Structure 1
Amino acid sequence: MYTRFSKVALVWAVAFFATLAAISNLADYDSNFTVIGHVLKMDTTFPDNNGMWRAIEASWVHHLVFCLIIFIEAAVAVFCWLGGFYLYRSRYDLAQFSQAKKLSILGLTLGILLWFVGFMAIGGEWFLMWQSQVANGQQAAFRVVVILSVILIYLIQPDEEKNV
């Protein structure tokens, strides 16, 4: 039983984190948008690097990308809040608890995709964010990816029938 409670708590912890991330991006849109602009414009990468052809100058694209990030953060939050609720509601029934993992798995996977594909692969490698001293979120994204991955692996482990 304690294992099921810990899975619920960890899924809700991710929901809380994703909620704060989305709220922070909305509450301080301009500051956080500036970082996205630097990444997409590649204006803080090494001077005269050969990847500058990838830079996107169009401000509307920067807004679109930032809104997509906020939307995905909010979706991760919703899936994990609901997933945790369904897990908590079914905590006494092993079969129901296993079935209730679906939304949590979806939320955690979506979060891994956002921070790994979005920040580390696209931002870090395509837009060379790793070269920037100003707009480099790769280490933070890596920490989030590792935490979400560990929680996802833990969540999908089979649960015992014991009500201990």
Structure 2
Amino acid sequence: MAETRTPRPLPALRVAATSLVGTVALYIALVAFGNITDFGTNQQFVRHVLAMDTTFKDDDLMWHAITSHALQDSAYVAIIVWETAAALLLIAATWLWARRHPSARRLSTVGLSMLLLLFGAGFIAIGGEWFAMWQSKTWNGLDAATRIIVLTGVVLLVTNLPGAAAEDS
């Protein structure tokens, strides 16, 4: 008589990692999609932050301002490209998690790290400090960037816990 094998259930940690990576993938895909289809809304955000036109106008800082629309729009397009690349990586990683593929953790780590760099280095450090975004009552994205960093950081930690990935089983 042939032995029948029943599939092993997915460990809860792997289910959590798959769900969390999928959630961040969906979120950043929607952000990128929104930036592409409603280009002008966040284009204005980037332009105002880089121009520093709603900050305290401190002469010691205003030399940081970028007022060229071409440079501002280039920065915005670079952000959209980065978001789109991260979204595609995280969508692929979600699929790999669901398939129990050993590359899921590695791909998730790359995609999540891209978001940490964009929102940590890009929005909080460069936008918040270099361009003094924190001074603006109107064009201040620090709270949103912080929320994304916290979510992304938690997901990165969960996906890298022992036992989450297929190679850990």
Specify if TM > 0.5. yes
| Counterpart residue number, 2:109 | 105
Q: Report whether the alignment pairs 1:44 with 2:54.
A: yes
| Distance (Å, rounded) in 2 between the aligned partners of 1:151 and 1:48 | 39
Question: 1:22-67 CA distances to partner (integer Å, 9 max, x unpaired)?
Answer: 0111121111101100000000001334200010111111111000
Task: Return the alpha-carbon distance in structure 2 between the equivalents of residues 50 and 149 of structure 1.
Answer: 34
RMSD: 1.4
Deviations 1:123-162 (A, max 9, x none): 000000000011100011011101100110111001079x
Within the candidate set 3, 19, 22, 2:29 is matched to 19
Which residue identity is paired with 1:9? S
Once the two structures are TM-superposed, the CA of residue 100 in structure 1 deviates from its matched residue by 2.6
Distance in 1, matches of 2:58 and 2:26, equals: 41
Within 5 Å, give how 1:54-65 maps onto structure 2. Answer: 54-65=64-75
The one-letter code sitting in structure 1 at the alignment partner of 2:33 is: I
Query: Which secondary structure state, in structure 1, belongs to the residue aligned with residue 86 of structure 2?
Result: helix
- 1:58-78 CA-partner distances (Å, limit 9, x unpaired): 111111100011111111111
Q: Count the aligned residue pairs.
A: 155
Cα distance in structure 2, aligned partners of 1:146 and 1:49: 34
The higher radius of gyration belongs to 2
Q: Identity of aligned pairs, percent?
A: 37
CA distances 1:2-26 after superposition (whole Å, capped 9, x unpaired): 2111110110101000001101111
Describe the SS at the equivalent of 1:69.
helix
Unpaired runs of at least 5, structure 2: 1-10
Q: Aligned partners of 2:21, 2:59: CA distance in 1, in Å? A: 41
Matches within 5 A, 1:135-146: 135-146=139-150
- Return the letter of the residue paired with 2:45: V
Query: Aligned partners of 2:48, 2:105: CA distance in 1, in Å?
Result: 38
Unaligned 5+ segments in structure 1 are: 91-95
Normalised to the residue count of structure 2, the TM-score between the two structures is 0.88
